[in-house]
């Protein structure tokens, strides 16, 4: 199982939100490059780098994103606000992977072109959900698409790697949503990255037991409730 620390950026700082709400923001560092190097040194397999300002349509940390990627030798997957072909192409020119949410559900034509141009191993589909219903636009809009049906639709198109987040667990330290995670991991041919709610090493073990491909470490990592080193021992 891949160990994937998240670095969420707002106004050039490393932050964590609770359930994606801006008013529930905690700032952990004003030096994202230092944090990225710290997680790399600790043994992370991959960095999940999110531009929250771009996600929410209130700004951009693109220059910082580029600088972080340049400083690292491990793979980086870039997420947040990648809603047109030019932005996605630019991101794929520097990063190993991109994570697509809103665009994946609103413009299948561009999605299929990206699949043809870059291959399915460089595109992760973000399936963020509330009670099993997929949400987009910074978690503000319900697509009306059922989580499992949505995953199967993207499998038919040719994608296989998915980032699964239960919005109601994100940033809460309340434990992962194992019910929907297990359902997703049971779909043949998928690689599921679990995100949201991780609070301790037992949570990670439960995620592993669901046969998840990877686990995102966020708030628990920043608040020293868990370490990359201890996760590596069971991953």
Q: Which is catalytic among the residues 8, 53, 170, 203?
A: 8
Over the range 53-87, which residues count as b (16 or more CB within 10 Å of their CB) and which as e?
A: bbbbeeeebbebbbebbeebeeebbbbbbbbebeb
How far apart, in whole angstroms, are the C-alpha atoms of residue 186 and residue 69?
33
Q: Is 30 a catalytic residue?
A: no
User: Quick check: 163 and 125 in contact, CB under 8 A?
Assistant: yes
β-partners of residue 141 are 136
Q: Which is catalytic among the residues 31, 45, 51, 128?
A: 128
Q: Is 8 a catalytic residue?
A: yes
User: Quick check: 217 and 3 in contact, CB under 8 A?
Assistant: yes
Using DSSP bridges, classify how beta strands 133-136 and 141-146 pair: parallel, antiparallel or unpaired.
Answer: antiparallel
Which residues are marked as active site?
Answer: 8, 128
């Amino acid at each position: 199982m891949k160990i994937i620390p998240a670095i969420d950026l707002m106004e050039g700082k490393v932050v964590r939100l609770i359930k994606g709400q801006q008013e529930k923001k905690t700032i952990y560092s004003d030096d994202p490059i230092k944090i990225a190097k710290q997680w790399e040194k600790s043994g992370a397999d991959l960095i999940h780098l999110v531009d929250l300002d771009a996600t929410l349509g209130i700004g951009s940390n693109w220059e910082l994103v580029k600088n972080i990627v340049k400083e690292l030798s491990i793979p980086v997957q870039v997420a947040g606000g990648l809603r047109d072909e030019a932005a996605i192409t630019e991101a794929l020119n520097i990063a190993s992977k991109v994570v697509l949410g809103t665009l994946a559900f609103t413009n299948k034509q561009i999605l299929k072109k990206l699949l043809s141009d870059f291959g399915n191993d460089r595109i992760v589909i973000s399936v963020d959900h509330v009670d099993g219903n997929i949400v987009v636009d910074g978690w503000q809009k319900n697509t009306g698409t059922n989580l499992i049906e949505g995953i199967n639709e993207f499998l038919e198109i040719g994608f296989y790697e998915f980032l699964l987040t239960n919005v109601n667990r994100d940033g809460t330290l309340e434990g992962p949503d194992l019910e929907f995670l297990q359902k997703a991991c049971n779909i043949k041919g998928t690689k599921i990255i679990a995100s949201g709610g991780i609070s301790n090493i037992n949570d990670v073990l439960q995620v592993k037991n669901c046969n998840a491909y990877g686990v995102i470490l966020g708030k628990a990592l920043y608040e020293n409730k868990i370490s990359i080193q201890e996760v590596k021992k069971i991953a």
